[in-house]
Structure 1
Amino acid sequence: MADLIHSDGSFRTFVEDVVSEALYGRLGLSDRPPVDQYLVDLLMRFMHRNGVYSVTDEFGYRVESVARMLEEGDVRLKANSFERERQVHRHIGDFLLFWSGMFPEHKFGGVDRFVNPVVQGQTSYLIVSSFDHPPFDEEAALFRRLGAEFEAMQAGLIIARESMPGLTA
């Protein structure tokens, strides 16, 4: 089992090594466009509850269910702009990838038990990728890949988790 702190003293470097090895070493995925740094950033952001539940409603209350996030990210319902729609769908994709990859045993409750994390994660990332105009055009290919290869990214996080002490069941 790997040490939690990398030899250079950085937890982030440890996570970078584990994620890169899982995606490119163990799964043999292509690095074009590169996804490892995005997944590392996601894991770093989600280390704190405020990152996991960063979507808020119009009153500033934290939105914790995927169903409510979908409402917040729909311009026909609560999103006040297409940029807000993109932001929330990016978070939904990240949220579902995080939970289904790092904690695959997690079962969503309430109305979220009807959400298929793979299908919704793919859909949300593909919505984000459809913003292929400035200032989002440079990220569109990354999110297209995250949507198209959601299950591979999920598998990569499951493999990465095996190298992280204290996270395996």
Structure 2
Amino acid sequence: MTTRPVLAETHSLSKLFRGLTEQTFAVDLGVADPGLVDYLSNLLIRFVPSSEVWRMRDRQGRRLDGVAAMLAEIEAAPADEHKRDGWRHVGDFTLFWTGVFPEALTALQNARRADALLDYRIHGKRSYEMASTFPSEEAPILRRLSEEFDLCVVGLSRVRREWERRDPQGPTPPLLVA
């Protein structure tokens, strides 16, 4: 599960997300951390197609539709690389929903779903922490995401508000939750 770009850097949506993320974190929040800002803008770009949000699969190839299922799959994963990527994805998944589309948490965590009792913030922080323990170029930024998870939630929420403010078509509809 390696990350791959879904939009070219020259695509207008990539430029928008990069610009808004840089503005929000550097100017509004006073966070001058290019690695963190790049990771977060890349997260927004990577999750443009919902298939990337929901890309974790079980060993039979079925889509995992919640954090509880993702955590169980990570625990059963045989290889460290799969565990690291799984932990990183759970961090990304929880950060995305809590920061960008928190109104979707009601559906993601309804009483009939396994995620009903999970706190996405706690699991997001823990997942980034776990991913950071595996040797990789991303380890320092994953540690920072764990430590600054709540700040990133606030920042991503502001990024969304700003893109909605700039969109002449009106607010972006929330993504459909499976």
Write the mapping of 1:77-156 to structure 2, written as runs, cut at 5 A.
78-106=76-104, 107=106, 108-109=109-110, 110-131=113-134, 133=135, 136=136, 138-156=137-155
Q: TM-score by structure 2 length? A: 0.81
Greater fraction helix:
2
Deviations 1:25-82 (A, max 9, x none): 11111316x21111111111111121001100111111111100001111xxx21111
Query: 4+ residue runs of structure 1 moved beyond 3 angstroms?
Result: none
Give the gaps of 5 or more residues in structure 2.
1-9, 165-170
CA distance in 2, matches of 1:86, 1:67: 16
Q: Residue 50 of structure 1: SS of its match in structure 2?
A: helix
CA distance in 2, matches of 1:157, 1:168: 16
User: Which of 23, 26, 29 pairs up with 1:24?
Assistant: 26
Aligned 8 A contact 1:162 1:168 in 2: no
Deviations 1:100-141 (A, max 9, x none): 00012222221212111111000000001111x3xx1x2111
CA distance in 1, matches of 2:120, 2:23: 24
Give the gaps of 5 or more residues in structure 1.
1-7
CA distance in 1, matches of 2:43, 2:114: 25
Aligned 8 A contact 1:79 1:85 in 2: yes
Aligned residues: 154
- Determine what percentage of the aligned residue pairs are the same residue: 33
Q: TM-score by structure 1 length? A: 0.85
CA distance in 2, matches of 1:89, 1:167: 28
CA distance in 1, matches of 2:158, 2:32: 16
